[in-house]
Structure 1
Amino acid sequence: MTSSRTLFAAAMLAATCASAQAAEFTVKMLNNGPGGMMVFDPPFTKIAPGDTVKFVATDKGHNVETIKNMAPEGAAPVKGALGKDETVTFEKEGVYGFKCAPHYIMGMVALVAVGSNLENLEKAKGLDQNKMAKQRFEPLWAKAEAK
């Protein structure tokens, strides 16, 4: 009886420690910010597997969604509603590209790098982007590559 209680206590402690280690990050969707007009702030976030990013819609005209083919294989796509916050927990390592659909043409993009195994980075960098998005992604790629 005592050993099953000990195992249960150990399991509960491990679960508590695992959830305590996970972190939550906030990325704001802004009309104007440090990077100019129509930006995610910060535009780059480096996190660990199991961490969460809360995308905060500071205006009713913003959303967040995964850029097609810019996520690790098997990762669930994200498509938030306009004007609504979206919270995403990242389990798979790799890079994830996000856009605000209405403002993508203006280069409103963000990059989340999860863990150290960024094997989809080169594929993500090679995807065709509009001029503004491509321009804003350039410094983000360099941040993802810096370990």
Structure 2
Amino acid sequence: MIRKLATGLALAALMGGAALAETFEIQMLNKGADGARMVFEPAFVQAAPGDTIKFIASSKGHNAETAKGMFPEGAEGFKGKVNEELEITLETEGVYAVICKPHYAMGMVMTIAVGDVDAPEGFLEGRVPKKAKKRFETQLGNL
């Protein structure tokens, strides 16, 4: 009897943890609510390990993918196809830079912070288009 009770409690605890995970929906848009062009809405998400991010192809011509070298060490990058939804679960704490490859130069970027983290040193070093860099800097101000 005690073994059954302990097993039941352990299963409930495991399932309860999964139930606490959140799903964030990100719209990929040609024009945002504030009139800005080529945006992810929201442009910044503060998530916990195990949370799911769902990118919704609200406007045509967009994708979501991690920017090269701009995600936590040990994490896997991701790359969605143009005009398709993408759902990912992030387990590794850190800061993830997300871009729309076709509109990266136009500044279509977003930032996902997983866990209680700060922006990594040198995060924006390298080849980041001017408009994208400006938006990343604004988003990183949320940390």
TM range (shorter): over 0.9
User: 1:49-88 deviations in whole A, cap 9, x for unaligned?
Assistant: 1111101111231100000011001111110011001111
Query: Which residue pairs with 1:98 in the alignment?
Result: 98
Query: Which residue pairs with 1:46 in the alignment?
Result: 46
User: 1:100-120 deviations in whole A, cap 9, x for unaligned?
Assistant: 0000010000000000134x6
Aligned equivalents of 1:79 and 1:105: distance in 2?
Answer: 17
Q: Secondary structure at the match of 2:133?
A: helix
Q: Secondary structure at the match of 1:143?
A: coil
Aligned equivalents of 1:77 and 1:50: distance in 2?
Answer: 15
What do you get for the CA RMSD once the two structures are aligned?
A: 1.3
Amino acid at match of 2:78: V
Gaps of 5+ in 2: none
Q: Secondary structure at the match of 2:123?
A: helix
Q: Is the 8 A contact 2:93 2:115 kept in 1?
A: yes
State percent identity of aligned pairs: 42
Q: Is the 8 A contact 2:43 2:110 kept in 1?
A: yes
Aligned equivalents of 1:23 and 1:127: distance in 2?
Answer: 32
Query: Which residue pairs with 2:76 in the alignment?
Result: 76
Query: Which residue pairs with 2:24 in the alignment?
Result: 25
Q: Is the 8 A contact 1:125 1:141 kept in 2?
A: no
Deviation at 1:8, TM superposition (A): 1.4
Gaps of 5+ in 1: none
Q: Normalising by structure 1, what TM-score?
A: 0.91
Q: Is the 8 A contact 2:54 2:86 kept in 1?
A: yes
Describe the shift of the 1:55–1:126 C-alpha distance in structure 2 as closer, same or farther (beyond 3 A): same
